[in-house]
Amino acid sequence: MSKMYNVAVAGATGAVGLEMLKTLEKRNFPVKSLRLLASARSVGKQLEFKGEKIPVEEMTNDSFKGIDIALFSAGASRSKDFAKACVESGAVMIDNSSAFRMVPDVPLVVPEINPEDAFQHKGIIANPNCTTIIMLVALNPLYKLSPIRRIIVSTYQCSSGAGQKGMNELLTQTADYVNGRPIVPQVFPFQYAFNLFSHNTAIGPNGYNEEEMKMVNETRKIMHDANISVCPTCIRIPTIRSHAEAITIEQERKVSVEEALAALAKAPGVKIVNDAATNHFPMPIESNDQYDVLVGRVRDDLSCPKGLALFVCGDQLLKGAAQNAVQIAEVLASRNA
């Protein structure tokens, strides 16, 4: 990567924004200049990047002048509000929100799967939902062996999916529970500590909530396969920052466990954790702060002759959000290497 880039991070003070800064630095993205953008209440704060203190600026329509790549983690409404100004300034907007994911001419990109789609952008590239990314990084190597016709997935989603406020609520409620204090839900509709509940997005007329339908629709778009059937159940569980998913797939031909493990072992972004002798398989606590998706418990589906079952964990803030966005920026930069 010989070219250097003027980069903006929108929503820089949020949980994902902070991880974007860390990831840009850790992966040594070729940053020429960095502009940190947030709401007016964050103005005056300073964040560190490569040993330098950078002030946070209020995001306005003029914030993107001279910017090459804008990483957005400010939420769907803010992405919609500033998309026009960002694109018209000449910047490429890599958006972590749900605002543009299903817009037909906006690429929805997981770099391990469909990096070439990024170059079809018209100023905006969408980052998929965290649950979809983590699932498909694990499934793409298996899809290459034989097309997947059906996916049944149950997700166990951590508190960071609701941002810093979600993580804070879990920690506060845990302390309240341990110390015998009343638990008063504020961010989530139900007690979060020592509990689990169905993902609290709205239920549609088909009985599936918004989070679940993201997995259905985004999977088809990313894989360029409208015939994949997806049956998701999304659950919030009291962990901090890594999602877990139990996945069962049916393929066009029977893929053996050995063949699947061999493909996964060579796949980018995947780390196999599959020690049956010690019952050691993917765990959220071991995928925290990791770039790879952990994959294990790979086994035959006893109910389906062409089926496999597996269990995965991935850091929601990294591969599920900030890391994937930075990887998309790396894909764009690769054209100028």
At 159-182, the pLDDT tens digits run 999 999 999 999 999 999 999 999
What's the CATH number where 193 sits?
Answer: 3.30.360.10
What's the CATH number where 70 sits?
Answer: 3.40.50.720
Do 106 and 137 have their domain in common? Answer: no
pLDDT in tens, 60-77: 999 999 999 999 998 899
Do 154 and 122 have their domain in common? Answer: no
Q: In angstroms, what CA-CA distances link 106 with 1, 100, 154?
A: 25, 7, 28
If you average pLDDT over every residue of the chain, what do you get?
Answer: 97
Catalytic residue among 86, 121, 158, 243: 243
Task: Provide the whole-model pTM.
Answer: 0.96
- Residue 88 makes CB contacts below 8 A (sequence gap 6+) with none
Sign of CA dihedral 132, 108, 124, 102: negative
Pairing of strands 229-236, 148-157: parallel
pLDDT in tens, 251-261: 999 999 999 99
Active site residue 130: yes
Total tally of structural domains belonging to the chain: 2
Do 284 and 138 have their domain in common? Answer: yes
pLDDT in tens, 104-113: 999 999 999 9
Do 259 and 326 have their domain in common? Answer: no
pLDDT at position 196 is 98
Count of CB atoms within 10 A of residue 291's CB? 16
Active site residue 304: no
pLDDT by residue for the chain (337 residues), tens only, comes to: 469 999 999 999 999 999 999 999 999 999 999 999 999 999 989 999 999 999 999 999 999 999 999 999 988 999 999 999 999 999 999 999 999 999 999 999 999 999 999 999 999 999 999 999 999 999 999 999 999 999 999 999 999 999 999 999 999 999 999 999 999 999 999 999 999 999 999 999 999 999 999 999 999 999 999 999 999 999 999 999 999 999 999 999 999 999 999 999 999 999 999 999 999 999 999 999 999 999 999 999 999 999 999 999 999 999 999 999 999 999 999 987 5
pLDDT at position 103 is 98
Do 201 and 231 have their domain in common? Answer: yes
Catalytic residue among 130, 158, 234, 313: 130
Do 172 and 284 have their domain in common? Answer: yes
Q: What is the dihedral of CA 315, 319, 320, 321, to 10 degrees?
A: 120
pLDDT at position 301 is 98
pLDDT at position 1 is 46
Do 156 and 244 have their domain in common? Answer: yes
Sign of CA dihedral 232, 237, 241, 242: negative
Do 141 and 273 have their domain in common? Answer: yes
pLDDT at position 335 is 85
Q: In angstroms, what CA-CA distances link 214 with 250, 256, 328?
A: 20, 29, 20
pLDDT at position 337 is 55
Sign of CA dihedral 101, 230, 224, 129: positive
Distance CA 99, CA 111 (A): 20
Structural domain span for residue 261: 132-316
Do 143 and 271 have their domain in common? Answer: yes
Do 136 and 278 have their domain in common? Answer: yes
Do 35 and 117 have their domain in common? Answer: yes
